[in-house]
Amino acid sequence: MGALSRAQLSLDHRTPLGTLSQPEGRLDAGDPDHGATNRTASDPRIHSPRGGYAPMIPAKEALARLIEGNRRFVSDQAGKAAFARSTHPGELAGGQFPFAIILGCSDSRVPAEIVFDQGLGDLFVIRVAGNIVAPSQVGSVEFAAERFGTRLVVVLGHSSCGAILATLEELARPTEGQSPNLRSIVDRIRPSVEGLLEVEPRLDSESLVHRAVRANIRASASHLRHGSALLEQLIANDGLLVVGAEYSLELGKVDFFDGVPKR
Ligand SMILES: [Zn+2]
């Protein structure tokens, strides 16, 4: 087990406990049906930044954790669970093993750790207005997927997203003198919204915003799946999964609607 002792691992309550009681060399990462179908079956471990090995959490298991965490959040049990699993920051100083990568919007009402009821070290979060995908976002996802062996990526958009509304306004009434930095965000969202308007030009405004939010989430997820040779390779050979989800500001619920594998 290298420099990371079994005792140290047992202190990490987020490590799947089922993997710890097995004999050396049999650190299964849970149900073999959980993602990672082509991963080296004999040794699903990843090299840990602490100098030892950590079990990789398969994408489907990670997705189940997020769904369950959001269920706690919605049912107002959040906080209790996160508090019970609270980790002293020093415990993670030597390394991290986030089980999911979240590319979310910067909106103050959609903090990933809270809406999924997760704690320190659980999520690798990238936030940018409109959950757009530009090179630095792709690089951040690549970094976490390769460095930490994280196998689930979630593009997390939300209802009534201001970046989507700004893009729709810009399409309706182009403005002069807009900040080029702000424009760079709108320009990333524009193609999926324009495509939607071409297909369904008669949508009422509420439906249009709803559909545009989802089109933008799908576009970002697709970009991550196909815009990086490294991520494509991890998807094809190592069980990486990229899904799209929408958070409802009204209900607090996350709906995973894009790229979710059938049970
Ligand atoms: Zn937003």
CA of 218 to the centre of ligand 1 (A): 15
> Is the per-residue pLDDT at 52 higher than 90?
no
Domain regions of the chain by residue span: 1-56, 57-263
Q: Is 105 within 8 Å of 130 (Cβ atoms)?
A: yes
Task: Give the per-residue pLDDT at 36.
Answer: 38
Q: Which two tokens stand for residue 157?
A: 């958009």
> Is the per-residue pLDDT at 31 higher than 50?
no
Using DSSP, state whether 154 is helix, strand or coil: strand
> Is the per-residue pLDDT at 21 higher than 60?
no
CA of 136 to the centre of ligand 1 (A): 18
User: Which has the higher per-residue pLDDT, 41 or 188?
Assistant: 188
Q: How far apart are the first and last CA of the chain?
A: 33
Using DSSP, state whether 7 is helix, strand or coil: helix
Comparing 17-31, 136-150, 158-172, 221-235, which segment has the lowest mean pLDDT? Answer: 17-31
Q: What is the pLDDT of residues 157-188, one digit of tens each?
A: 999 999 999 999 999 999 888 899 999 999 99
CA of 231 to the centre of ligand 1 (A): 25
Distance CA 251, CA 5 (A): 43
Task: Give the per-residue pLDDT at 63.
Answer: 98
Label each residue of 209-235 as H, E or C: HHHHHHHHHHHHHHHHHHCCHHHHHHH
How would DSSP label each residue in 150-195? --EEEEEEETT-HHHHHHHHHHHS--SS--HHHHHHHHHHHHHHHH
CA of 263 to the centre of ligand 1 (A): 30
Distance CA 253, CA 115 (A): 8
pLDDT band at 55 (very low <50, low <70, confident <90, very high): low
CA of 50 to the centre of ligand 1 (A): 35
CA of 61 to the centre of ligand 1 (A): 27
CA of 162 to the centre of ligand 1 (A): 5
| CA of residue 91 relative to chain centroid, distance | 23
CA of 105 to the centre of ligand 1 (A): 5
Q: What is the CATH number of domain 57-263?
A: 3.40.1050.10
Q: Is 227 within 8 Å of 138 (Cβ atoms)?
A: yes
CA of 154 to the centre of ligand 1 (A): 15
CA of 244 to the centre of ligand 1 (A): 14
H/E segment holding residue 208: helix 205-226
Q: What is the pLDDT of residues 85-128, one digit of tens each?
A: 778 888 888 889 999 999 999 999 999 999 999 999 999 999 99
CA of 178 to the centre of ligand 1 (A): 19
Task: Give the per-residue pLDDT at 179.
Answer: 92
CA of 101 to the centre of ligand 1 (A): 18
Q: Which two tokens stand for residue 215?
A: 């089109």
Taken in order 106, 117, 149, 54, the sign of the CA dihedral is positive
Q: Which two tokens stand for residue 259?
A: 């790229």
Task: Give the per-residue pLDDT at 107.
Answer: 98
Greatest alpha-carbon span in the chain: 66
Beta bridge partners of 136: none
Supply the pTM of this predicted model: 0.80
